[in-house]
Amino acid sequence: MKPKLQTPIIIINFKTYLEATGTRAVELAKQAEKASKETGIQIAVAPQFCDIKAVAEAVEIPVYSQHIDPIKPGSSTGHVLAEAVREAGAVGTLINHSERQLKLADIDAIVKLANEKSLVSCVCTSNPPISAAAAYLNPDIISIEPPELIGTGIAVSKAQPEVVTSTLRLVRKVNNEAIVLCGAGISQGEDVSVALRLGTQGILVASSIVKAKDPYTIIREFADSAQ
Amino acid sequence: MKPKLQTPIIIINFKTYLEATGTRAVELAKQAEKASKETGIQIAVAPQFCDIKAVAEAVEIPVYSQHIDPIKPGSSTGHVLAEAVREAGAVGTLINHSERQLKLADIDAIVKLANEKSLVSCVCTSNPPISAAAAYLNPDIISIEPPELIGTGIAVSKAQPEVVTSTLRLVRKVNNEAIVLCGAGISQGEDVSVALRLGTQGILVASSIVKAKDPYTIIREFADSAQ
Amino acid sequence: MKPKLQTPIIIINFKTYLEATGTRAVELAKQAEKASKETGIQIAVAPQFCDIKAVAEAVEIPVYSQHIDPIKPGSSTGHVLAEAVREAGAVGTLINHSERQLKLADIDAIVKLANEKSLVSCVCTSNPPISAAAAYLNPDIISIEPPELIGTGIAVSKAQPEVVTSTLRLVRKVNNEAIVLCGAGISQGEDVSVALRLGTQGILVASSIVKAKDPYTIIREFADSAQ
Amino acid sequence: MKPKLQTPIIIINFKTYLEATGTRAVELAKQAEKASKETGIQIAVAPQFCDIKAVAEAVEIPVYSQHIDPIKPGSSTGHVLAEAVREAGAVGTLINHSERQLKLADIDAIVKLANEKSLVSCVCTSNPPISAAAAYLNPDIISIEPPELIGTGIAVSKAQPEVVTSTLRLVRKVNNEAIVLCGAGISQGEDVSVALRLGTQGILVASSIVKAKDPYTIIREFADSAQ
């Protein structure tokens, strides 16, 4: 069965950063787990495919895949099978991240597939209407990330609050259950508290944590600000 | 550094078969290792991304990735980083499998990337001219698999020997070093010996082993026929 | 400015049929124009890119492109520029046809681009939730076509009326203005009248007209049934 | 049948520039025709799909498509059919332009398709090994364009002469018949004569002509330098 989602939630996307590859993926996940246990805030991590198993064995916090393909078991060499990430220990998956965009019909198919395989589905979107479109496909989580702010250190919650609020307004017209997160540029605790005050239920972050000299301090700051 | 390639070589592609996912991937790899040790024939296995680490920790035979992306570390969520598969324990990678076809420029980039990261590069091709084209990009291995025979049980080496011989002829015009394999439909030991007699240096197989009731027996039969 | 949309509307997709290529595209468009003038029903045609100009010069009925790319003028060799199809005489475009599926973000970008360039936007979808998702992107037309029925002669309006009605219900929750069409398998006049009775405002058709011995008779039958 | 290729040849790629769209495509093609007739140098033009027919009707010089898809007539909405560009008046096609890159197997399929449909095939490549790989697929023309120089005004023939010469060396190992062109950054007559002196049989150009205040003067300068 799917893990229970608890809000606010912080999802850390490890992307393909070397700082979060292999043994460093496990280390980073442990620091996230430490901050999660200390603060009571749910923190999930999304390492690379190759690292899912080692990370899931090392920590108790939820592990997400960064992507799965809309395929059935069989002849799909080089693709990512829901069953494989599930058996490796993932309990959820990002879908349609701005660095791995998908066809509309595939997003629909993958959300359904994730449901069947008991994986939490987190669809990433880039603007309010696209978020609302995604909301109609009934994912568990929708995460809005304006691509132009990703990696800039300019937080969406502060630079474009209207993007966040109009996303929430449009999504809620058709979907009262999906958890709505925001991401892009989140680099300080205050960015997190502003995001929550705007009405989101958490954040999706990457570089500000993964590339930090002391990731634990940042994760902890974000988790503290989420309380 | 790259592992030494020894011929004849048998590469087993686990595809996305459930029979070769997770713990069953490890089991299957162990049977391949057993047959390899008993016969002295090099046998490599290509499990799914999520399973590379567990397989590589469980066996001493070479483990290949099924694909890597032409990317540098950083912002490529949901993609497959050479460094990640390397650290997980892979020593090589399939490239351009017929189920994961790539742009020409990306094949070139990935072969170079594999070289830089000390991964054996095995480019899969579907006909003689495409094989020869691939030969010019200097991969370590070229594996010809006519897509119409994949999974049929009709062996390329017996049904289309001229595809194999003309591939060898065209490839050798420009490349004397690449190992040339053939695949598609290989289901009996005789298919293997015919393939070697035609001049190939091994085979790439999948369903006949992965979906067998007793994979070890088939692997062993193939390895015996390769001697 | 965009042409006025009048309902019911019949859009004929010429696909890449030889029977609707080049001079035969012009002939077919003339027959559609004849049926349109005689019945007063708006009939639009969607020929291949190369044929847009000749068709638009030969007839007065609306001409649609089969696709446009989400690009600006400049360096996009081999892509389809909105300005180019507009200048050639198209007044609208299909978007995300099941044979030319697009990323969610690209559908959003193309709908906006079509608006800017005064092209009618007709987004094709394959099931009710995807239709509703598309509705949130505010295209002028949404056309639902279950891919498994395309080209079968089994009309969606008769075989899967609940697909049509639930599409209408979901779309109308968020969008009261978009014209909703259905397609796939429409082969008789009755299929058209059933579609309209279910609440759609027209149909998107292809093979039953393009491959007919006497296309005019079929177009006329469809138009008569739409009255 | 295919048009006779005469060398040296200049191919002008109109890309998706507004300056070469619609009526301006026809105007530009007429200036190319004028320069071709005056100098005796073969000049071909590659307008957008929508403009092929009007351009081909207005001039006698060869017209190329910018791309065709590896499809048969039928159900390929939004794709580019060889038969359609042929009937519109194109006598050749660019393939795998750096702005429209293709899978290796599709390049092979399109070169064969072009042959069947009597279209000149011009495969674009980005470095010497890729050019040699393409040479094995037997296109009529191979055009090397290092992507990093496209649109810069820094001519490949002057900035990277070794790219041109090593392309020629590698290609000629396996293919004595294909015409070899170079492109990227060609902006003066001298760039053309240097390209020919290095051994190429012509050039592929775009921005320096399309975006020129007086395109005719530049085309004429290039053609004069090719003599």
* Whole-prediction pTM: 0.95
Higher confidence at residue C21 or residue C151? C21
- Give the whole-angstrom CA distance, residue A63 versus residue A60: 8
Q: How many angstroms separate the first and last alpha carbons of chain B? A: 27
Q: How many CB pairs under 8 A join B and D?
A: 69
- Judge contact between C180 and C201, C-beta under 8 A: yes
Nearest CA in chain B to D136: B133
Q: How many CB atoms lie within 10 A of CB B166?
A: 17
Mean per-residue pLDDT of chain B = 94
Q: Stretch C203-217: mean pLDDT, rounded?
A: 95
Roughly what angle, to the nearest 10 degrees, separates helices C189-197 and C215-225? Answer: 30
Positions of D marked catalytic = 97, 145
User: CB distance from D127 to chain B under 8 Å?
Assistant: yes
Letter string b/e over residues C14-25, b meaning 16 or more CB atoms within 10 A of that residue's CB: bbbbbbbbbebb
Q: Does A70 touch chain B (CB under 8 A)?
A: no
ipTM, two decimals: 0.96
CB-based contact, C174 to chain A, within 8 Å: yes
- Contact B108/D133, CB-based, under 8 Å? yes
- Which candidate, D116, D134, D114, places its Cα nearest to that of D124? D134
Query: What are residue A42's DSSP bridge partners?
Result: A9
- Cα distance from D69 to chain C (closest Cα, Å)? 10
Question: What are residue B164's phi and psi, to 5 degrees?
Answer: -70, -50
Is position A57 annotated as part of the catalytic site?
A: no
Above pLDDT 90, what percent of chain D?
A: 85
| CB-count burial class (<10 Å; 0-12, 13-18, 19+) for C172 | middle
Angstrom distance (rounded) from CA B179 to CA B185: 20
Cα separation of A32 and A12, whole Å? Answer: 8
Question: Lowest-confidence range among A33-37, C143-147, D56-60, D197-201?
Answer: C143-147
Model confidence pLDDT, tens digit, residues C31-49: 999 999 999 999 999 999 9
Best mutation target among D48, D68, D145 (most C Cβ atoms within 10 Å) is D48
- Distance (Å, whole) CA B116 – CA C91: 52
Task: Answer yes or no: do B134 and D130 touch at CB < 8 A.
Answer: no
> Are the beta carbons of C105 and C145 closer than 8 angstroms?
no
Point out the residue among C18, C77, C87 whose CB comes nearest to the CB of D22. Answer: C87
Which of D67, D100, D104, D124 to probe by mutation at the B interface, max B CB count within 10 Å? D104
Tell whether C138 is within 8 A of chain A (Cβ): yes
For chain A, 227 residues long, give each residue's pLDDT as a single digit of tens: 787 898 899 999 999 999 999 999 999 999 999 999 999 999 999 999 999 999 999 999 999 999 999 999 999 999 999 999 999 999 999 999 999 999 999 999 999 999 999 999 999 999 999 999 999 999 999 999 888 877 787 888 888 888 899 999 999 988 999 999 998 888 999 999 999 999 999 999 999 999 999 999 999 999 999 98
Chain C residue with Cα closest to A173: C174
Between CA A226 and CA A196 the distance in angstroms is 7
Give Cα B49 distance to the centre of its chain.
15
The residues facing B143 across adjacent strands are B124, B181
Convert the pLDDT of each residue in D137-158 to its tens digit: 999 999 998 888 777 878 888 8
Half-sphere exposure of D52 (CA within 13 A, CB side): 32
Pick the closest to residue D16 from C70, C89, C51, C115 (CA basis): C70
What does the block give as tokens for D212? Answer: 């020129």
β pairing state of D202-205 and D64-65: unpaired
In this prediction, residue B19 carries a pLDDT of: 97
- Options B145, B162, B177, B190, the catalytic residue: B145
Mean pLDDT of D166-188: 91
Token pair belonging to A194: 């502003």
Which residues from chain A sit within 8 angstroms of residue C138, using beta carbons? 129
Compute the average pLDDT of residues D187-201: 92
Give D42's strand partners. Answer: D9
Is residue A128 reached through a cis peptide bond, with omega within 30 degrees of 0 on the bond before it? no
* Digitized pLDDT (tens) for each residue of chain B, 227 residues in all: 787 898 899 999 999 999 999 999 999 999 999 999 999 999 999 999 999 999 999 999 999 999 999 999 999 999 999 999 999 999 999 999 999 999 999 999 999 999 999 999 999 999 999 999 999 999 999 999 888 877 787 888 788 888 899 999 999 988 999 999 998 888 999 999 999 999 999 999 999 999 999 999 999 999 999 98
Location of structure tokens 């969607």 = C46
Contact between D204 and D11 (Cβ < 8 Å): yes
Q: Which residues does B201 contact at the CB level (< 8 Å), separation at least 6?
A: B7, B8, B9, B179, B180, B181
Q: What is the C-alpha separation between A145 and A205, in angstroms, rounded?
A: 10
Predicted pLDDT at B188: 92
pLDDT band with cut points at 50, 70 and 90 for residue D50: very high
Write the burial class of residue A77 (CB in 10 Å: 0-12 exposed, 13-18 middle, 19+ buried): buried
Query: Which two three-digit tokens encode residue B210?
Result: 């992965």
**D84–C contact, CB cutoff 8 A:** yes
In chain D, the residue whose alpha carbon lies closest to the alpha carbon of C48 is D78
Look at residue C154 and tell me whether its pLDDT is greater than 90. Answer: no
DSSP state of B92: E
Instruction: Please tell me the least confidently modeled range out of A32-41, C111-120, D78-87, D177-186.
Output: D177-186
* C-alpha–C-alpha distance, residues B174 and D132, integer Å: 10
HEC-encoded secondary structure of D94-136 = EECCCCCCCEHHHHHHHHHHHHHCCCEEEEEECCHHHHHHHHC
The answer to whether the CB of D164 falls within 8 A of the CB of D185 is no
* Gap between the Cα atoms of A86 and A52, Å rounded: 9
Most distant pair of Cα atoms in chain B: their distance: 48
Report the distance separating Cα D107 and Cα D68, nearest Å: 10
| Arithmetic mean of pLDDT over chain D | 94
Q: How many CA atoms lie within 13 A of A149 on its CB side?
A: 24
The pair of structure tokens assigned to A79 is: 């693709």
Q: Which two tokens stand for residue B78?
A: 């949901």
What confidence tier does C110 reach under pLDDT thresholds 50, 70, 90? very high
- The alpha carbon of residue A143 is apart from the nearest alpha carbon of chain C, in Å, by 14
**Sequence-ordered list of residues with C-beta below 8 angstroms from that of B11, at least 6 positions apart, any chain:** B43, B44, B45, B46, B64, B94, B122, B143, B181, B202, B203, B204, B205
Using CA atoms in the order D149, D150, D154, D158, what is the torsion angle rounded to 10 degrees? 70
Q: 3-class SS at B129? A: helix
pLDDT of residue B82: 98
- The answer, yes or no, to whether residue C106 has pLDDT greater than 90, is yes
How close are the terminal C-alpha atoms of chain D, in Å? Answer: 27
Is A27 at the interface with chain B, CB within 8 A? no
CA pair distance A210, A222, nearest whole angstrom: 13
Least confident of D45-59, D73-87, D172-186: D172-186
B143 touches chain D (CB under 8 A): no
In one-letter notation, the amino acid at residue D125 is T
Query: pLDDT tens for residues B163-213?
Result: 899 999 999 988 999 999 998 888 999 999 999 999 999 999 999 999 999
